[in-house]
Amino acid sequence: MKRRVILFVALFSSFHLFAQLENIDLGHISGNVSLLWQQYNEDTLIGAQVPPEKAGFNAYGNLIYTRGNFSAGIRYESYLSPILGYPGRFKGTGIGYRYAQYTHQKFEITIGNFYDQFGSGMIFRTYEDRNLGYDNAMDGVRFIFRPYNGITLKGIYGHQRLDFDSRLINTDGIVRAADGEIFINDLIPALQEKKLKTTIGGSFVSKYQDGDIIEKDTLQLIVPNNVGAWAGRLNLQWKGLTAYGEYVHKINDPSADNGYTYRDGEALLVQLGYSRKGLGINVGGKMVDNMSYRSDRDLLLFDSPINYIPVITKQHTYNLAATLYPYATPLTGEASFMAEVFYKIPWGKYGTNVAMNFAAANNLDTTKYAGVDEQIYGFKRNSWGFGDTKYVRDFNVEVKQKFSKNFQLKLTYFYLEFNTTSTPVTTEFKGIVYADIAVAEFKYKLAKKHAIRGELQGLWTKQDRRDWATVLLEYTFSPHWFVSVLDQYNYSHPDPDRRIHYLFGTVGYINGSNRIALGYGKRREGIFCVGGVCRAVPASNGFEITVTSSF
């Protein structure tokens, strides 16, 4: 009894105390949680296997504490065991990311993990994509200094994330990076209101990794322990016109990606654009030569890249176009360009939106060395142009028409030539796939909160697994419920037994920033690509639950 009184008094006084403290800033906590659970059944037809655990579970929780200029955060991660298709070595549960950051006027200091990008990212980019299992976070110190309005200087020192085993595991390599950017219009007050906006930037990145000697036949080659790279960039904007250019150069960096050869790496990216109300035009070119750059020279795939190579093709959203033949820049290099037009035909009540896009990439124009030079340098590049091997041609045109407040139709056509040797997205065919893809998508609003959306997709090709059809139907009851059914059907696979329906159904409930979805069905084996790298995801069959929540 006495204790209860004390407790009560304590409680009361604490409320009293906090009532007084109300005006004092104690800071804020925000965060999010996401869970993905998959259950696996055996399905020999699609090649789905059951791991011993019979289920996979990935979970993440982020917490950010902010008070004034100070913030700190952690990410708790669980892989018990990882979802199929994730790097299988991820395991356990623990803290995979933590940082503290302080900002004071011209300074910003971060210790612990952080993500950052210099320019286009072709020299330095750390980021995460949790859906893909991609995370190359830095772990160290970052210092940002803004001495004058318009000038940003960054210095970075640290290790890089590689793995997770109940805790964060970094590579041994040390990454050191500096970047400077000047936004001229802010720096020079007289130019502030001028229409021409100019930004220039430059970066230097260096990695250190201990290494000794590589033996190739009779050769003994010394491995460079420090590999430096530099980049310069320029961004101009004038009314509707934009121009962006960046050049990156990397010194010799023998690695698993380039067969331990000693050529320098180079990349050049140019993007030009024009747009005004109702019209947009974009052209771009990109040449990448030997620009794989990792904090550990022996790693491959998604593991610890320091930089990021943007892909020249458009990122497609329709299932067949996006997942069967997704292009990824080969790490040895490519020459590529793209062009794109957006136009709104101003007729009728709603007008018609048209978008056209074309991208092409080939190998580099190179000559192979002979003898010792081949072992040391591999090849030499003759020009910045196209070589003889076609990597990809991707033409697509999209027409969107709204007919009434409630009905809208979108038609898309794609023509694809895709080299499955340079981007190995299928094991069943090596060579060029020539494919036509057509998609019709409609959206119909049935009542105030009820809408139905459907997609009919076809892919026709004489190569690989031949023709596919996809049907997607989605019913939404705003703001809380959705139901969808997806069927992918490989209806003319050369082997009649493998003309399979991949049927997947989902039901979901959303409340504000909380979302829960239950799915069941078959998932085709596929390829996830990020930047220049792709990872295979095996086929599976079973239940799936996803939960996401932000607060």
Partner 1 sequence: MKQLFFLLILALSATFVTAQNKVPNVQLKDIDGNTVNTKDLLNPDGPTVICFWATWCSPCKRELNNYAELYEDWQAETNVKIIAVSIDDQRSVSRVAPYINSVEWEYQVVLDPNSQFKRAMNVINVPHTFLIDKNGNIVWQHNNYADGDEDELHEQLQKLQ
DSSP letter assigned to residue 82? P
Polymer length in residues for the chain: 551
Helix/strand/coil for 496? helix
Contact between 506 and partner 1 (CB under 8 A)?
A: no
| Total of residues contacting partner 1 (CB under 8 A) | 93
Closest CB to partner 1 among residues 286, 523: 286
Answer for the pair 164, 90: CB distance below 8 angstroms, yes or no: yes
Closest CB to partner 1 among residues 97, 504: 97
Residue whose entry in the numeric block shows the structure tokens 């136009």: 343
Q: How far is the CB of 462 from partner 1 (least distance, A)?
A: 29
Helix/strand/coil for 295? coil
Contact region with partner 1 (CB under 8 A), list: 85-93, 171-179, 310-318, 494-502: 310-318
Contact between 15 and partner 1 (CB under 8 A)?
A: yes
Contact region with partner 1 (CB under 8 A), list: 26-34, 160-168, 214-222, 427-435: 26-34
Closest CB to partner 1 among residues 79, 262: 79
What CA dihedral angle connects 101, 102, 108 and 110, to 10 degrees?
-20
Closest CB to partner 1 among residues 95, 451: 451
- DSSP H or E segment with residue 19: helix 2-21
- Of the candidates 311, 321, 331, 500, which one interacts with partner 1 according to CB under 8 A? 311
Closest CB to partner 1 among residues 39, 103: 103
Pick out residues in 187-216 that bind partner 1 (CB under 8 A): 197, 199
Which of 304, 53, 8, 290 has the alpha carbon at shortest distance from 174?
304
Q: How far is the CB of 179 from partner 1 (least distance, A)?
A: 13
Pick out residues in 424-463 that bind partner 1 (CB under 8 A): 443, 445, 448-451, 453
Which of 438, 362, 439 has the alpha carbon at shortest distance from 393?
362
Which of 248, 256, 253 has the alpha carbon at shortest distance from 287?
248
Pick out residues in 465-494 that bind partner 1 (CB under 8 A): 476-479, 482
Pick out residues in 372-431 that bind partner 1 (CB under 8 A): none
Residue whose entry in the numeric block shows the structure tokens 């997806």: 486
Closest CB to partner 1 among residues 141, 184: 184
Query: Residue 329 is encoded by which pair of tokens?
Result: 């820049």
Contact region with partner 1 (CB under 8 A), list: 17-25, 39-47, 212-220, 365-373: 17-25
Pick out residues in 511-540 that bind partner 1 (CB under 8 A): 512-515
Pick out residues in 224-283 that bind partner 1 (CB under 8 A): 235, 237, 240, 242, 244, 269, 271, 273-282
Contact between 171 and partner 1 (CB under 8 A)?
A: no
Instruction: List the Cα angle 69/147/200 in 5-degree steps.
Output: 115
What CA dihedral angle connects 337, 123, 201 and 105, to 10 degrees?
130
- Which x/- pattern over 62-91 shows residues binding partner 1 (rule: CB under 8 A)? x-x-x----x--------------------
Closest CB to partner 1 among residues 45, 345: 345
Query: Residue 220 is encoded by which pair of tokens?
Result: 């003994």
Distance from C-alpha of 412 to C-alpha of 319, rounded to nearest angstrom: 13
Pick out residues in 145-164 that bind partner 1 (CB under 8 A): 150, 152
Sequence-distant (≥ 6) Cβ neighbours of residue 2 within 8 angstroms: none
- Which x/- pattern over 319-358 shows residues binding partner 1 (rule: CB under 8 A)? ---------------------x-xxx--------x-x---
Closest CB to partner 1 among residues 214, 547: 547
Closest CB to partner 1 among residues 289, 398: 398
Contact region with partner 1 (CB under 8 A), list: 292-300, 375-383, 414-422, 504-512: 504-512
Answer for the pair 343, 279: CB distance below 8 angstroms, yes or no: yes
Closest CB to partner 1 among residues 14, 383: 14
- Which x/- pattern over 102-121 shows residues binding partner 1 (rule: CB under 8 A)? -x-----------xxx--xx
The phi and psi torsions of 254 (rounded to 5 degrees) equal -60, 130
Pick out residues in 31-50 that bind partner 1 (CB under 8 A): 31-32, 34
Distance from C-alpha of 165 to C-alpha of 538, rounded to nearest angstrom: 22
Answer for the pair 123, 230: CB distance below 8 angstroms, yes or no: yes
Contact region with partner 1 (CB under 8 A), list: 153-161, 167-175, 313-321, 422-430: 313-321
Distance from C-alpha of 329 to C-alpha of 292, rounded to nearest angstrom: 11
Distance from C-alpha of 182 to C-alpha of 188, rounded to nearest angstrom: 10
CA atoms within 13 A on the CB side of 90: 29
Amino acid at 273: G
Contact region with partner 1 (CB under 8 A), list: 127-135, 168-176, 204-212, 533-541: 127-135
